[in-house]
Amino acid sequence: MGTAGRIAFFPARVAARASRDQLATVPDDVLVAELIRLIDRTFTTSLPEEVVRSATKHRVIERVARELAASGALDRALNDALASDQMRRAIREVVESPEMTAALARQTTGLAEELVGNVRTRAVRLDERLERRPRAVPSPFAGMATRAAAFAMDSAVVLLIFLSLSAMVALISSMVGTLRPEWLVGVLLGSGFGLVAAIYFVLFWSGAGQTPGMRLLRLRVRGPDGAPPSLGRALLRAVATVIAIVPFFAGYLPVLFDARRRGLPDFLAGTDVVYEYPRRDLESEAWAAHATG
């Protein structure tokens, strides 16, 4: 740059040096306050919107992301971030936090409740459709579908308990010697499963009036007085259940025709199986079945 150029820019250099000297004497909090006011005034104008519109129009973000991905800088940045101790510690703290644990528990519980609720609603609707006698009002007694669903859930629980006990017995027997002959093993397994099932159903029927499967379907078995059946009635009902199951569940066919939806176990033990939830919920679900059917 020549002498003329230096002479032309001399006033600007003097002004810049004077401004820099003045800023050096200004306290930091005053500079921060002035900077915040300047940013506020900038955002009150149309400049930010114009910048965003221009960036969107010319696809600035897409081009930058494409360039970063093509050069490998984005992958390196992500790998460095994930491999850093600070990021790992932050992720571990987030995952192990009580808030995250509570949120996952709520999500899991909500999903399970929604799934069981859908099964229950569909089973109630199927109860109404399977029945062979029309009703003016929904029946408070459980039908074929809800009882079958509850029995299937209970059978799965009984099978799981039996397999756990069998594994334990097999482990103990392997230490002292294998059982002989094989037919004896088969008899013990068959009788063992029947014993586990009988204890399961009798205890839950007489103790709580419902098994875990019946609780999920909101069903309850009751005696003539409306209370859970006695131990004797529950035992008689368990024996009658076996009799009803043996001929291809034929002992439950009366459920489709009886006014109180009783099967052979209910007739012999003097019990009923009723819906546990309030009548208004029953009516809404049952009448929804009539409306959609």
pLDDT, tens only, 52-62: 677 677 777 77
pLDDT at 93 (0 to 100)? 75
Q: Residue 140 corresponds to which tokens in the numbers above?
A: 């408070």
Q: What is the mean pLDDT of residues 133-159?
A: 90
- Residue 236 pLDDT class (50, 70, 90 cuts): very high
pLDDT at 225 (0 to 100)? 93
Helices (H) and strands (E) in the chain, counts: 13, 2
pLDDT at 187 (0 to 100)? 73
pLDDT at 162 (0 to 100)? 93
> Is 24 part of any domain?
no
Question: Is the CB of residue 213 less than 8 Å from the CB of residue 157?
Answer: yes
Comparing 77-81, 135-139, 215-219, 257-261, the range with the smallest average pLDDT is: 77-81
pLDDT score of 6 more than 70: no
Q: What is the mean pLDDT of residues 71-84?
A: 73
pLDDT at 46 (0 to 100)? 64
Q: Is 178 helix (H, G, I), strand (E, B) or coil?
A: coil
Range of the domain at 146: 104-292
> Is 245 part of any domain?
yes
Count of CA atoms in the C-beta half-sphere (13 A) of 214: 20
Q: Which residue has the tokens 């009658």?
A: 240
Residue type, 289: A
Q: What is the mean pLDDT of residues 226-238?
A: 95
Comparing 71-75, 144-148, 211-215, 255-259, the range with the smallest average pLDDT is: 71-75
CB within 8 A of 65, min separation 6: which ones? 74
pLDDT digits (tens, 9 = 90+) for 89-102: 777 777 677 877 77
> Is 279 part of any domain?
yes
Q: Most confidently modeled of 4-8, 48-52, 260-264?
A: 260-264
Between these two residues, 288 and 206, which has the higher pLDDT value?
206
Q: What is the mean pLDDT of residues 99-119?
A: 78
> Is 10 part of any domain?
no
| H/E stretch holding 275 | strand 272-275
With pLDDT > 70 as the criterion, what percentage of the chain qualifies? 70
- Mean pLDDT, the chain, as a whole number? 78
Q: Which one, of 291, 247, 271, 241, lies nearest residue 142 by Cα?
A: 271
- Residue 44 pLDDT class (50, 70, 90 cuts): low
pLDDT digits (tens, 9 = 90+) for 171-199: 877 776 666 666 666 777 778 899 999 99
- Residue 80 pLDDT class (50, 70, 90 cuts): confident
pLDDT at 73 (0 to 100)? 74
- Residue 290 pLDDT class (50, 70, 90 cuts): very low
With pLDDT > 90 as the criterion, what percentage of the chain qualifies? 36
Domain count, the chain: 1
Count of CA atoms in the C-beta half-sphere (13 A) of 216: 21
Q: Residue 263 corresponds to which tokens in the numbers above?
A: 């099967």
- Distance (Å, rounded) from C-alpha 168 to C-alpha 180? 18
> Is 144 part of any domain?
yes
Question: Is the CB of residue 212 less than 8 Å from the CB of residue 152?
Answer: no
> Is 149 part of any domain?
yes
Between these two residues, 78 and 249, which has the higher pLDDT value?
249
> Is 20 part of any domain?
no
- Distance (Å, rounded) from C-alpha 70 to C-alpha 110? 43
- Enumerate the β-bridge partners of residue 219: 275
Decide: residue 220, CB within 10 A, 0-12 exposed, 13-18 middle, 19+ buried: buried
> Is 209 part of any domain?
yes
pLDDT at 228 (0 to 100)? 95
Question: Is the CB of residue 179 less than 8 Å from the CB of residue 173?
Answer: yes
